[in-house]
């Protein structure tokens, strides 16, 4: 009477997984935008506050903004690698995405605590809010049932293949 439960074969990627990868790619673009904003704001702030602060303070501010921009660019590369792994169906990448995106959602508003010019604060606020939304979207989509079944089926297929190659039990903890 009831239809059989939906199962996902290892070769079929659910739409939710593809959309999660797209959300991560949007997060990459937003992260690059935040890095660019940090670089531009450091130059603008240096010019704007040159007469108000000592040279050492301004150099420290610039160094912090450059370090933040480099950190954001590294984060963009990590998130791009996660999106690529998600599209390839890697279970480890699926788990790592929960960790990285969870941290980005949890600490996403920390980037707003900068001493930035007024225009930069608005741009930074909007970019950070969109970044948090992109990561939250990826988390929700990857936690959905089709995604979970897809990555579980991929793991089971890999375990079975390992058992065939080694001639033993496919379970990794079998004694």
pLDDT tens, residue by residue, 75-95: 999 999 999 999 998 889 999
Tokens of 2: 């009831």
Q: How much is the average pLDDT of 157-173?
A: 60
The reply to whether 133 falls in a domain is yes
Range of the domain at 70: 15-158
Q: How much is the average pLDDT of 137-150?
A: 90
Task: Estimate to the nearest angstrom the gap between the alpha carbon of 137 and the chain centroid.
Answer: 11
Who wins on pLDDT, 104 or 162? 104
| Count of domains observed in the chain | 1
Identify whether the C-beta of residue 50 lies closer than 8 Å to the C-beta of residue 58.
yes
- 172: pLDDT confidence band, cut at 50, 70 and 90? low
**Residue reference for tokens 């690529």:** 84
Angle at 26 between CA 125 and CA 100, to 5 degrees: 80
The reply to whether 2 falls in a domain is no
3-25 pLDDT, tens digit per residue, is 544 444 556 889 999 999 999 99
pLDDT at position 34 over 90: no
Global confidence as pTM: 0.72
Helix and strand element counts for the chain (H, E):
5, 0
The reply to whether 151 falls in a domain is yes
The reply to whether 6 falls in a domain is no
The reply to whether 43 falls in a domain is yes
The reply to whether 26 falls in a domain is yes
Contacts of residues 123-131 at CB distance under 8 Å and 24 or more positions apart, as own/partner, are 123/37, 124/34, 124/37, 124/41, 127/30, 127/33, 127/34, 127/37, 128/34, 130/26, 130/30, 131/27, 131/30, 131/31, 131/34, 131/104
The reply to whether 169 falls in a domain is no
The reply to whether 126 falls in a domain is yes
Gap between the Cα atoms of 147 and 141, Å rounded: 7
């Amino acid at each position: 009477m009831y239809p059989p439960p939906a199962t996902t074969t290892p070769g079929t990627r659910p739409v939710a997984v593809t959309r999660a990868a797209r959300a991560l790619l949007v997060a990459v673009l937003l992260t690059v935008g935040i890095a660019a904003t940090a670089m531009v704001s450091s130059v603008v702030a240096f010019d704007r506050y040159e007469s108000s602060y000592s040279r050492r303070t301004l150099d420290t501010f610039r160094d912090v903004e450059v370090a933040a921009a480099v950190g954001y660019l590294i984060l963009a590369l990590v998130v791009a690698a996660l999106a690529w792994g998600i599209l390839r169906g890697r279970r480890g990448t699926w788990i790592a995405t929960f960790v990285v995106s969870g941290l980005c959602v949890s600490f996403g508003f920390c980037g707003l605590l900068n001493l930035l010019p007024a225009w930069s604060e608005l741009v930074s606020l909007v970019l950070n809010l969109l970044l948090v939304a992109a990561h939250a979207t990826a988390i929700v989509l990857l936690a959905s049932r089709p995604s979970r079944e897809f990555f579980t089926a991929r793991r089971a297929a890999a375990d079975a293949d390992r058992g065939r190659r080694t001639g033993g039990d496919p379970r990794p903890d079998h004694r």
